[in-house]
């Protein structure tokens, strides 16, 4: 199949079809959208300029494309991220400066998750981390990608627990039972990657660029509280810094999606963003 795909890419460049429209299974991602999967509540698509309000290159707000009516915006104008055109696979992205840039949902996390104590969800993000903190102080040295303060989960990139250059999904505890990370070498500064987390029956699993990384089970369902979902600048419960990265796309479902849907979503991410 990989050989066929390579040949197809060569042929398609001189025809009306676009190379980026075709997935690993020769399925055009243009025939698939994240909302083809049920229970999509949150969806940020930076490539969709119609959803973004700009002030120059600064992002004033982004309209949520999921079923929940809300916007994503900075709390103060100085913390607005910047839109960069044609940066990742010829598509627009928004850059977070690693200092104070933030986008926060205008509704509480419980609205986006369907509950303040969700029993299931799926979270997916495509991004390009541009800094991976490799120090190991206190003992955290993590840059926060997304989070919901101390009451919910946090996605961070960096070093902790003696493990370096990892992407972390954490429920805000130093307890290893409460987090799952990438493997060593999977996260490279300046390289685009996707992460999908599925959570159901108190077990959450991580997939990176469509590949299963690992899972862990915690004793109770997570509590997301009433905090907004925040991207780029969040207080990690045990320390951490705002992340320096580019955001491409983010999705949130109130269910743990099926294996087939997960494959389709991963293929969509991979081919749309050139992973």
From residue 246, how far is each of 19, 27, 46, 83, 241 by CA, in Å? 23, 27, 10, 9, 16
Residue ranges of domains in the chain, CATH in brackets: 1-31 (no CATH), 38-272 (2.60.120.200)
Q: Which residues of 97-113 are buried (b: 16+ CB within 10 A; e: fewer)?
A: bbeebbbbbebbbbbbb
> Does pTM top 0.85 for this prediction?
yes
Which helix (H) or strand (E) segment holds residue 9: the answer is helix 2-12
- What pLDDT, on the 0 to 100 scale, is given for residue 8? 36
Query: 192: closest CA among 259, 122, 272, 81?
Result: 272
- What pLDDT, on the 0 to 100 scale, is given for residue 160? 82
* Strand, helix or coil for residue 102: coil
pLDDT digits (tens, 9 = 90+) for 200-257: 999 999 999 999 999 998 888 888 877 889 998 765 555 678 899 999 999 999 999 9
Q: Spell out, as residue ranges, where the chain has pLDDT lower than 70.
A: 1-30, 136-140, 149-151, 172-176, 234-239
């Amino acid at each position: 199949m990989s050989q066929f795909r390579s040949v197809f890419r060569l042929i398609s460049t001189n025809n009306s079809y676009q190379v980026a429209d075709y997935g690993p299974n020769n399925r055009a991602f243009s025939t698939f959208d994240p909302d083809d999967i049920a229970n999509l509540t949150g969806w940020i698509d930076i490539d969709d300029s119609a959803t973004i309000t700009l002030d120059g290159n600064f992002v004033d707000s982004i309209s949520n494309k999921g079923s929940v009516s809300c916007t994503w915006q900075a709390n103060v104008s100085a913390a607005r991220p910047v839109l960069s055109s044609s940066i990742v696979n010829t598509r627009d992205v928004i850059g977070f400066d690693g200092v104070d840039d933030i986008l926060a949902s205008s509704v509480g996390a419980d609205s986006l998750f369907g509950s303040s104590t969700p029993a299931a969800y799926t979270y997916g993000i495509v991004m390009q981390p541009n800094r991976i903190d490799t120090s190991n102080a206190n003992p955290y040295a993590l840059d926060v990608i997304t989070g919901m303060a101390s009451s919910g989960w946090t996605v961070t990139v960096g070093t902790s627990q003696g493990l370096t250059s990892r992407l972390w999904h954490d429920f805000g505890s130093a307890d290893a039972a409460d987090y799952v990370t990438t493997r060593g070498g999977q996260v490279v500064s300046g390289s685009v990657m996707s992460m999908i987390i599925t959570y159901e029956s108190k077990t959450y699993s991580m997939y990176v660029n469509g590949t299963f990384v690992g899972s862990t089970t915690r004793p109770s369902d997570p509590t997301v509280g009433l905090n907004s979902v925040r991207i780029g600048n969040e207080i990690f419960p045990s320390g951490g810094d705002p992340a320096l990265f580019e955001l491409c796309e983010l999705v949130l479902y109130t269910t743990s999606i099926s294996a087939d849907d997960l494959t389709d979503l991963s293929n969509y991410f991979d081919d749309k963003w050139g992973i």
